[in-house]
């Protein structure tokens, strides 16, 4: 029986290490997206194998959102957080305007926890990239659908 417990503990520790690596990779990707320095290989941390041995389209959608496709940001949101909603507004400060994105899951009952993530950019910041950042932050914080 102790072998079974040891095996379960080893598996649990492996999951914790794997989760820590994923979070570190997402932290790195978020920093690179914010700085405008992300390379195609940086998006590989979003690869998720499916049952039929193919990968999801999340890395491709994220790269396209990074390049400015809001449609790709919506596809990424649907793949990463099905059922979540996105709200895009413009924040105005003096003569400057920049995108503000809020993604969230609607509560089904009043007892459901509020879940969401925000992102705002700077003047000239692409709305699709702001959406990408909000999605990556929700993924990294473990906020799930």
What separation, in Å, do the N-terminal and C-terminal C-alpha atoms of the chain show?
Answer: 36
Residue 145, in any domain of the structure? no
Report which of 38, 47, 21, 23 is spatially closest to residue 128, judged by C-alpha positions.
38
Q: Is position 118 within any domain?
A: yes
In this predicted structure, what is the pLDDT of residue 27? 93
**Structural domain total, the chain:** 1
What's the confidence (pLDDT) of residue 138? 87
| Distance, CA of 60 to CA of 66 (rounded, Å) | 10
In a domain, 136, yes or no: yes
pLDDT at position 76 is: 92
Residue 145 has what pLDDT? Answer: 43
Task: Find out whether 103 and 117 touch, Cβ atoms under 8 Å.
Answer: yes
H or E element in which residue 133 lies: helix 127-140
Domain containing 128 equals 2-140
**pTM for this model (two decimals):** 0.76
13 located within any domain: yes
**Low-confidence stretches of the chain (pLDDT beneath 70):** 1-17, 50-55, 107-124, 143-145
Q: What is the pLDDT of residue 122?
A: 55
**pLDDT of the residue at 1:** 46
Helices then strands, each counted (H, E), the chain:
4, 3
Predicted pLDDT at 84? 87
């Amino acid at each position: 029986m102790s072998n079974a417990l040891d095996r379960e503990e080893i598996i649990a520790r492996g999951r914790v290490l794997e989760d820590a690596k994923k979070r570190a990779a997402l932290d790195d990707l978020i920093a690179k997206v914010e700085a405008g320095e992300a390379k195609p290989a940086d998006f590989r941390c979003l690869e998720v194998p499916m049952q039929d041995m193919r990968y999801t389209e999340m890395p491709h959608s994220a790269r396209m959102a990074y390049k400015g496709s809001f449609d790709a940001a919506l596809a990424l949101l649907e793949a990463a957080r099905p059922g979540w909603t996105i709200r895009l507004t413009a924040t105005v400060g003096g003569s400057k305007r920049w995108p503000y994105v809020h993604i969230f899951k609607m509560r089904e009952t009043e007892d459901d926890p509020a879940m969401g993530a925000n992102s705002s950019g700077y003047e000239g910041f692409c709305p699709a990239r702001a959406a990408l950042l909000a999605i990556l932050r929700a993924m990294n914080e473990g906020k799930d659908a």
